[in-house]
Structure 1
Amino acid sequence: MQLHDLWFAVIAVLWTGYFFLEGFDFGVGVLTRLLARDRGERRVLINTIGPVWDGNEVWLISAAGATFAAFPDWYATLFSGFYLPLLVILVCLIVRGVAFEYRAKRSGTQWQDRWEWALFVTSLLPAFLWGLAFGNLVRGVPIDADKNFTGDLADLLGPYALLGGLVTLTLFTFHGAVFTALKTTGDIRPRARRLATMAGPVCAVLTAAFLAWTQLNSGGSVSFVASAAAVGALLAAVVANAAGREGWAFGLSGVTVVAMTAALFIALFPDVMPSSLDPRWSLTAENAASSPYTLKIMTWCAALATPVVMLYQGWTYWVFRKRIGTRHIAGNH
């Protein structure tokens, strides 16, 4: 395996980890308005992800940094062509982080309510826009012979990309609902299961349609296996959730996220950004990569740092593993 192929796989793993972890994170943020009935229940939901949300975003930073260093042409074309949706995502992530920290700085109802609405909106928009971005990444966008994006915003709003946005939004919401059922106690727990039971079939239909479309456009035998695994795991997660097997439901919803992301990257390879104008102008893992020496240094650094980061994040989840409910929430500040 060439180093540029290895780093394509590494970046795929980083995005997979990000969507698995931040997926339920975004889903819980969406549920603060769909599931919670009052401020106490919203505080329960926020507290389920409060200790881990910032650690989850490390995977995004790592994926963007690895793309910048390993595939500079991919990074440049991606961030210039997808400038507006990625800018909206960036602003949402900034405001979302501020909402987590500032919401409890004052006890006023209006102050807290505004930050809770900000948390909801900045969870919903990225959940949709990531699917939109990856849909365009796999489908292909206008790229000329000089590796420049030549389209506009309308080129990013095709039906396939919009369907991808709906898939990630519904899938992350379902993922967040089964995580909520796993992490909470009291009345909110069965309501989270009921919401997941309602959202699961809708999510399954959208996911199956999106992956079938992907398979018809650019899939192969390996991506077909990953797509089938994603749909099968999602259906099994719906069944497990309905049976009250919350741990199994969350694990299977996580398998769905992992398998779907893997299917998209497998369908994309060896391209990193296909050109819809001429396949010869597509950016590939080979022609968009940094020098072999740069990739070699990056490989050594990643081999040393990655285990430390994963051990630390795993320890964080272990420390905050217990369920919480409204009885654990103190009164207003």
Structure 2
Amino acid sequence: MRVWQILKRKGLCSTALNHAAILGPNLPDVWIPPNTSSTMDSRVDVQTATIIDGKAIAQDIRSQIAREVCRMKASIGKSPGLAVVLVGKRRDSQTYIRVKLKACDEVGIPSFIAQLPENCTEYQLLNVVSGFNDNPLVHGIIVQLPLPQHLDEEKIIDSVSPEKDVDGFHPLNMGNLAMRRREPLFIPCASKGCIELLLRSGVEIMGKKAVVIGRSKIVGLPTSLLLQRHQATVSTVHAFTKNPEKITREADIVVSDVGIPNIVLGNWLKPGAFVIDMGTNPIKDPNSRNGYRITGDICFKEATKVVSAITPVPGGIGPITITMLLSNTLDSAKRAFRFP
């Protein structure tokens, strides 16, 4: 049974959402792992870190979102709506879309999906986006990335209305995130989820040293900007950084989104650091049902002996990121309906 249906049965639809408010150039990295080896003693196998349960945090936030969706339906008879645009038949993209649509269904957010063939023209894709921009039932639009190479990704992202850009990638939203005293309409979901996780875990961000490994427009760049908004001292480690392990070892907060399995070893990390692993890397595993398993950028086994807390992969930041998409869509509908 969906979350919003359970809440309706229990009479909780009118309960207001109450969670901590947060502040509300694509540089491709070609990573070459440094020639370093771990100095951790492999004979010692003592886990000291707290393993963050991202699924539990996500479920708690989704329950709050579902209550707000119920309250909106009961008060004004309207619901938030999310539109998804999928080009081609990439298996990973199809999987991500299924997960997002299932999450929408759980909290009572209607979803709309437009599927285009791999060889669609730019004009056809822009026309679909334009239709969702003009649709009053749609309050959030996501174009599933990556797009086929013949399509101009930046042009497509720019075509999404900033008022419905729940991915937070439009230059207006990204630019406002980068500028002091300006508020973006939406914050990219992974970065928003990162800060939400830190706040809910009781981590003091102000004045702390943070290192973000990777500088993609989807995760690294907006996460760095958002951490600075929360008054952290932020360093960005990328493919051309010298001594990345030394810089990372000084950080109280480490966020990694590199795309190389286990690149961050235990000796990269400061004892007691808080680590968020945003890497999602498939590794061949003949014992797995699918022939592969998913792992992160952080060497989990080593990190747990050093840090104070860490997100696992899978089951860490991923579910929270999808939940932030629901949160952004709800915020968009509230803004459109002027719903308190």
| Pairwise TM-score range, normalised by the shorter structure | under 0.3
The normalised TM-score by structure 2 is 0.27
Structure with greater strand percent: 2
The normalised TM-score by structure 1 is 0.28
Higher relative contact order (CA 8 A, sep 6+): 1
